[in-house]
Amino acid sequence: MNTVLKNTIEHWGHLFPYTHIPRNESEYEKLLNFVEKLMQVSRHTKDERVTSLLRLIAKNIEEYEICRFSTKQVSPLEMFEFLMEEHNLGQGDLPEIGSQSLVSKILSGERQLTVEHIQKLSKRFSVSSSVFIEVGEDCKRIAMR
């Protein structure tokens, strides 16, 4: 094993407790405290490693908060319908998804949105692709870790 890889694995042991999505309130609190300390460090240095670590941990905290504190889950289909209505679009107005027939099947639940559809819809509506992904399933996955 080369030295860089060996050092990376050795140091990962120190980072590991801070680089995953919290599984419970205790881990969540631990990460919040660690983020506060990182933010203090980032105020005094322009080190990209600190900024990168801060972003990673903040994203993991956000994932936990979405699952923990969401009051009403909106399904991807509901979000799709909402965005179509907000933009005054009909089933034939989404050529990036496919034909009017395909859009109709997606809206009726006959077909699912594909990864490619999700990417194109998030770009079209300028929203995160996560709004088209079932959050409940992600939260269950996080809780099982």
Closest C-alpha to 64, from 122, 16, 135 = 135
Report d(CA 31, CA 36) in Å as an integer. Answer: 9
Alpha carbon 56 to its chain's center: 11
The enclosing H or E element of 106 equals helix 100-108
Given pLDDT bands bounded at 50, 70 and 90, which one contains residue 144?
Answer: very low
Q: What is the mean pLDDT of residues 46-61?
A: 89
Q: What is the per-residue pLDDT across 8-51, written as a single tens digit (0 to 9) for each?
A: 888 888 888 888 889 889 999 999 999 999 888 888 888 898 88
| Domain layout of the chain by residue ranges | 3-69, 76-143
For residue 111, the model assigns a pLDDT of 92
For residue 70, the model assigns a pLDDT of 61
Find out if CATH 1.10.260.40 is the number for domain 76-143.
Answer: yes
Q: What is the per-residue pLDDT across 70-118, written as a single tens digit (0 to 9) for each?
A: 655 678 888 899 899 988 999 999 998 899 999 999 999 899 888 899 9
CA angle (5, 11, 13) in 5-degree steps: 115
Model's pTM, two decimal places?
0.49
98 three-state secondary structure:
coil
